[in-house]
Amino acid sequence: MNESVVVGDVRGVPGQIVYGAFPGVALPTGGRDDLPVIIAQGKRAGPVLWVTGSIHGNEHSGLAVIHRLLGPGGVDFPVNELSGAVVMIPTLNPAGLRTESRSPYYSRGADPNRMFPAPERPHTRTNAFPEGPPASAMESVYERLFASIEATADYLIDLHNAVIGSIPFAFRDPIYYAGERDRVAARRLQIRNDEMMAAFGLPIINEFPSVEYIKKNLHRSVSGSVLNRARRPAFTAELGGYLHVDLLARDAAVVGLRNVMRWAGMLSGEPEPLPPIPFPEVDFPVRRIMYPRAPQSGIVTHLVDAGDPVRQGDAVARLTDIYGRPLGPDNGLLRTEYDGFVVGRMQGKVYYENEPVLWLAVRDDGDLLLPYPDDR
């Protein structure tokens, strides 16, 4: 017996793809900024995978991946062979998408990917993180949507963009636990999440270490919240530059999603090979770092590109003045003190003092399984 997935007023129909909307922010001028909802409901029972895109309105690849996965009118999606259901939200931020800006204009520059509900301690369901100000209109929508995710989702993948020319990759979030008993459950969740990320197949990069993760409110990102509050496997995929669709990254994500469905038992068959995306070969786990930073304002010439391996001591960029004359010691060279690889060059050529010039992935020995910050 297959139970149909229900998201807001949208109800899955076995063997069909249905289209609807989730009530969004009410507009002062009337109407609402509803979130588009697509449910592909299989004929057989099985897990429910959520795929969400474009919470940052200037990041269009999530939308592109969902459209590509479905094909026009859903012709390319094997809904008849599906066990379970796939819930797709092509944009979590319609206002940002319309205006091609990261935030919805009614959230005045705040990051929408820091607006999902903060994790609570399991069992007691008490707050594990400081309370913020009263919820904004956007946060209220996400709170209701989160309830729907928590009620239905077995897995969630949130699709994003990084910088122009960056390699496509997946972010691995930390998982927090409360006490020793919960540590075991958290580890189980982490293993399951790692399996799902491996099935997706893109290079895996750990998120910031704990203190920075919480300081940057990443526990309230879509994947951070679903992983830590709903405690379902969830990750963020970064698919090349924003305001642009990197076709190879898009197609890799489409294949990755189908491979996740195979891993989850939602589709049968062997995994498909990914298109030839850059895959930096390092034999150690890595985390993200925005590094190095410009020691003073100037013009940057990058000496490495996305996907390049780097070793401690390598020159990765040169800083000059507007005349092209080297600035600072070492003939203007900026060197890395880490081993790893280049995720992408930060966009542009002019940098102010202390702005990062590269996005690197560097060796990381942390295991991303951590006690709640106030449980230490």
Closer to Zn ion by Cβ: residue 151 or 243: 243
Closer to Zn ion by Cβ: residue 5 or 249: 249
Token reading at 149: 């995710």
Q: In the complex, what is the shortest distance from the CB of residue 160 to Zn ion, in angstroms, rounded to a whole number?
A: 3
Q: In the complex, what is the shortest distance from the CB of residue 56 to Zn ion, in angstroms, rounded to a whole number?
A: 4
Q: In the complex, what is the shortest distance from the CB of residue 170 to Zn ion, in angstroms, rounded to a whole number?
A: 13
302 binds Zn ion (CB under 5 A): no
Token reading at 213: 């993760």
Q: In the complex, what is the shortest distance from the CB of residue 106 to Zn ion, in angstroms, rounded to a whole number?
A: 18
With residue 252 as reference, give the H or E element that holds it: helix 247-263
Closer to Zn ion by Cβ: residue 59 or 139: 59
288 binds Zn ion (CB under 5 A): no
Closer to Zn ion by Cβ: residue 59 or 173: 59
Residue pair 342/325 in contact (Cβ under 8 Å)? The answer is no
**199: nearest Cα among 285, 267, 149, 247:** 267
Q: Which amino acid type is present at position 151?
A: A
Residue carrying structure tokens 């540590």: 183
160 binds Zn ion (CB under 5 A): yes
Considering only the stretches 53-61, 207-215, 220-228, 314-322, report the one whose residues sit in contact with Zn ion under the rule CB under 5 A: 53-61
What does the buried/exposed string (b/e) look like for 356-372 if buried means 16 or more CB atoms within 10 Å of the residue's CB? ebbbbbbebeeebebbb
Considering only the stretches 10-18, 114-122, 152-160, 365-373, report the one whose residues sit in contact with Zn ion under the rule CB under 5 A: 152-160
Residue nearest to Zn ion (CB): 160
Q: In the complex, what is the shortest distance from the CB of residue 238 to Zn ion, in angstroms, rounded to a whole number?
A: 7
Closer to Zn ion by Cβ: residue 84 or 240: 240
Give me Rg for the CA atoms of the chain. 21
| Interface size with Zn ion, residues (CB under 5 A) | 3
Residue carrying structure tokens 């996907």: 307
Q: Which of 24, 56, 163, 178 binds Zn ion (CB under 5 A)?
A: 56
Q: How many Å apart are CA 374 and CA 330, to the nearest integer?
A: 44
Q: In the complex, what is the shortest distance from the CB of residue 361 to Zn ion, in angstroms, rounded to a whole number?
A: 17
Exposure of 67 in the CB half-sphere (CA atoms within 13 A): 13
Q: In the complex, what is the shortest distance from the CB of residue 15 to Zn ion, in angstroms, rounded to a whole number?
A: 34
Closer to Zn ion by Cβ: residue 46 or 104: 104
Closer to Zn ion by Cβ: residue 105 or 284: 105
Q: In the complex, what is the shortest distance from the CB of residue 161 to Zn ion, in angstroms, rounded to a whole number?
A: 6
Q: Which amino acid type is present at position 165?
A: G
Closer to Zn ion by Cβ: residue 210 or 236: 236
Q: How many Å apart are CA 223 and CA 183, to the nearest integer?
A: 19
Question: Going by C-beta distance under 8 Å and a sequence separation of 6 or more, which residues neighbour residue 225?
Answer: 116, 117, 118, 119, 146, 219
Exposed / middle / buried, residue 109 (Cβ in 10 Å: 0-12, 13-18, 19+): exposed
Sites of contact with Zn ion (CB under 5 A): 56, 59, 160
